[in-house]
């Protein structure tokens, strides 16, 4: 064993002993897994990150199988409703550019790809809805919906969604949800999975009714949101999730000057939430001075862990908290890891539960490259915080290290491997 390998092994053992004594897993001194190479020497093996970056623009997916149905002016199928009636499991529906009004559908197939071609087609509710729930209802199965815009959904109970997702697996890519009472709304099916990539949510309606959340996820198995944009809310939350397992990475959740949302990000029933590399900001007109909330409605899952790593948290309200963890409502069964976050504006941010609290820094708005309404809250090159972030470490065999950052208007771009990181989401 070489001297370097011996020093590495001693470092890892010391970290593990220290963590055992404190009841916590190893923190920033954990470098990765070990293996023995062909020369018999120990070496560090990089583990896969929590979330890999998405490409912007993403390449079109190949059809799952079956035939392709094309919807558009002048073709045999001018209506998405007609295509839905003809489609069989495994088919792909391609929708040509244009506006399509009153295309309310309950999708009963078990496996479909539905995608817009070229310039994003716009689906206008214009008073139509399926079952009083949404413009589209995804009943079950495995669906991929890509490059479509959902607008203007209204229903009698004030809770109309662009998409109501009830069961199965749904992947939404490069889509937009504007002026809907809820952008996407799920059921409480505890085996369902929702994936949202490179999509936009905004322009919550300003009329009375239920709270207009831009994305509202019920008690499903898992939620993954990457490279997406949330802004301009009204009274409801930008993103609310009751899912058991959540990955929220490299997103822009900034309400903006015209927004008046409540929470920007909420996990009302706890669960496991990995929140990495996001820009999260509330406006002066916020309905709730807490920017991020965890556990306000009590526990629904056996494990409650919140991980906040390399996020930029912006509070334009006069007072309040960047983070509120309702430990009493989670029966004190909660841990919080808050590492290398950048805090801008007003509010409290401190240890709120057992876990780890390290490398978090406040910064003055005047020292940043951007400002209110700007697409950037990045540190300038001459900031004393530049490149000062310590390795965020690992938790439950998963790295807290960001591998990408949000790229406006939607999407992500990879970070240069090995480059020293700064606190916050934007490197």
How confident is the model at residue 209, as a pLDDT? 65
How confident is the model at residue 262, as a pLDDT? 75
Lowest mean pLDDT among 135-139, 180-184, 380-384: 380-384
The 3-class secondary structure across the chain, one letter per residue, is: CCHHHHHHHHHHHHHHHHHHHHCCCCCCCCCCEEEECCCCCEEEECCCECCCCCCCCCCCCCCCCCCEEEECCCCCECCHHHHHHHCCCCCEEEECCCEEECCCEEECCCEEEEEECCCCCEEECCCCCECCCEEEEECCCEEEEECCEEECCCCCCCCCEEEEECCCEEEEECCEEECCCEEEEECCCCCCEEEEECCEEECCCCCCCCCECCEEECCCCEEEEECCEEECCECCCCEEECCCEEEEECCEEECCCCCECCCCEEECCCCEEEEECCEEEECCCCCCCEEEEECCCCCCCCCCEEEEECCEEEECCCCCEEEEECCCCCCCCCEEEEECCEEEECCECCCCCCEEEECCEEECHHHCCCCCCCCCCCCCCCCCCCCCCCCCCEECCEECCCCEEECCCCCEEECCCCCCCCCCCCC
Mean pLDDT taken over the chain: 85
Mean pLDDT confidence for 45-70: 55
What is the Cα–Cα distance from 426 to 279, expressed in whole angstroms?
8
Q: Are residues 139 and 19 in the same domain?
A: no
Q: Within a domain: residue 395?
A: yes
Using pLDDT thresholds of 50, 70 and 90, give the confidence band for residue 142.
very high
64-112 residue pLDDT tens? 458 999 999 877 899 999 999 999 999 999 999 999 999 999 999 999 9
In this prediction the pTM is 0.84
Residue 399 has pLDDT above 50, yes or no: yes
How confident is the model at residue 332, as a pLDDT? 83
How confident is the model at residue 12, as a pLDDT? 39
How confident is the model at residue 289, as a pLDDT? 83
Q: Within a domain: residue 144?
A: yes
Angle made by CA atoms 200, 201, 204, in degrees to the nearest 5: 155
Q: Are residues 34 and 140 in the same domain?
A: no
Give Cβ neighbours of residue 1 (< 8 Å, ≥ 6 apart).
9, 41, 42
Using pLDDT thresholds of 50, 70 and 90, give the confidence band for residue 424.
very high
How confident is the model at residue 345, as a pLDDT? 87
288-330 residue pLDDT tens? 888 999 999 999 999 999 999 999 999 987 777 899 999 999 9
How confident is the model at residue 33, as a pLDDT? 41
Residue 227 has pLDDT above 90, yes or no: yes
Mean pLDDT confidence for 152-178: 96
Q: Are residues 83 and 17 in the same domain?
A: no
Q: Are residues 126 and 25 in the same domain?
A: no
How confident is the model at residue 369, as a pLDDT? 73
Lowest mean pLDDT among 1-10, 21-30, 216-225, 354-363: 21-30
CATH of the domain at 284: 2.160.20
Q: Are residues 171 and 41 in the same domain?
A: no
Bigger pLDDT: 274 vs 204: 274
Q: Within a domain: residue 302?
A: yes
Give Cβ neighbours of residue 148 (< 8 Å, ≥ 6 apart).
95, 114, 115, 116, 120, 121, 123, 175, 176
Do the strands 176-178 and 149-151 form a parallel or antiparallel pair, or are they unpaired? parallel
Which of 289, 325, 329, 321 is closest to 306 using CA atoms? Answer: 325
Q: Are residues 301 and 156 in the same domain?
A: yes
How confident is the model at residue 65, as a pLDDT? 59
Q: Within a domain: residue 55?
A: no
How confident is the model at residue 71, as a pLDDT? 97
Q: Are residues 23 and 110 in the same domain?
A: no
Percent of the chain at pLDDT above 90? 65
Mean pLDDT confidence for 121-143: 97
Q: Within a domain: residue 53?
A: no
Residue 48 has pLDDT above 70, yes or no: no
How confident is the model at residue 4, as a pLDDT? 46
How confident is the model at residue 8, as a pLDDT? 42
Q: Are residues 169 and 102 in the same domain?
A: yes
Structural domain boundaries enclosing 14: 3-45
Q: Are 235 and 260 in contact (CB under 8 A)?
A: yes
How confident is the model at residue 260, as a pLDDT? 67
Using pLDDT thresholds of 50, 70 and 90, give the confidence band for residue 135.
very high
Bigger pLDDT: 268 vs 18: 268
Mean pLDDT confidence for 134-149: 97
The total number of structural domains that make up the chain: 2
Q: Are residues 183 and 254 in the same domain?
A: yes
Q: Within a domain: residue 51?
A: no
Q: Within a domain: residue 54?
A: no
Percent of the chain at pLDDT above 70? 82
């Amino acid at each position: 064993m070489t001297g370097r390998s011996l020093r590495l092994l001693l470092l890892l053992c010391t970290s593990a002993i220290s963590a055992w004594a404190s009841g916590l897993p190893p923190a920033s001194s954990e470098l990765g897994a070990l293996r023995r190479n062909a020369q018999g020497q120990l070496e560090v093996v990089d583990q896969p990150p929590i979330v890999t970056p998405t490409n912007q623009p993403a390449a079109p997916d190949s059809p799952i199988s079956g035939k392709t149905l094309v919807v558009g002016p002048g073709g045999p199928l001018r209506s998405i409703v007609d295509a839905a009636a003809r489609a069989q499991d495994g088919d792909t529906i391609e929708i040509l550019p244009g506006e399509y009004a009153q295309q309310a559908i309950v999708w009963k197939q078990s496996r479909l790809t539905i995608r817009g071609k070229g310039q994003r087609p716009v689906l206008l509710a214009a008073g139509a809805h399926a079952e009083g729930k949404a413009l589209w209802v995804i009943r079950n199965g495995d669906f991929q919906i890509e490059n479509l815009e959902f607008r203007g959904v209204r229903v009698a109970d004030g809770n109309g969604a662009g998409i109501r997702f009830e069961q199965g697996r749904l992947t939404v890519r490069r889509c937009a949800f504007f002026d809907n009472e809820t952008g996407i709304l799920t059921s409480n099916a505890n085996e369902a999975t929702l994936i949202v990539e490179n999509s936009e949510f905004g322009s919550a309606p300003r009329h009375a009714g239920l709270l207009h959340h831009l994305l509202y996820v019920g008690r499903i198995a898992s939620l993954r949101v990457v490279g997406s944009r949330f802004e301009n809310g009204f009274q409801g939350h930008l993103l609310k999730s009751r899912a058991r397992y959540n990955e929220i990475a490299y997103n822009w959740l900034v309400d903006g000057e015209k927004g008046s949302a409540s929470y920007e990000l909420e996990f009302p029933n706890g669960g496991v939430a990995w929140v990495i590399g996001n820009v999260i900001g509330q406006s002066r007109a916020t309905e709730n001075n807490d920017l991020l909330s965890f556990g306000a409605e009590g526990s629904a899952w056996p494990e409650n862990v919140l991980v906040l790593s390399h996020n930029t948290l912006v509070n334009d309200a006069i007072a309040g908290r960047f983070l509120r963890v309702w430990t009493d409502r989670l029966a004190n069964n909660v841990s919080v890891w808050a590492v290398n976050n950048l805090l801008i504006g007003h509010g409290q941010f401190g240890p709120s539960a057992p876990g780890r609290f390290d490398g978090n820094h406040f910064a003055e708005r005047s020292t940043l490259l951007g400002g209110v309404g700007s697409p950037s809250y990045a540190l300038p090159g001459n900031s004393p915080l530049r490149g000062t972030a310590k390795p965020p470490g690992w938790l439950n065999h998963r790295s807290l290290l960001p591998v990408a950052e949000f790229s406006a208007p939607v999407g992500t771009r990879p970070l240069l491997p090995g480059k020293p990181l700064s606190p916050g989401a934007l490197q």
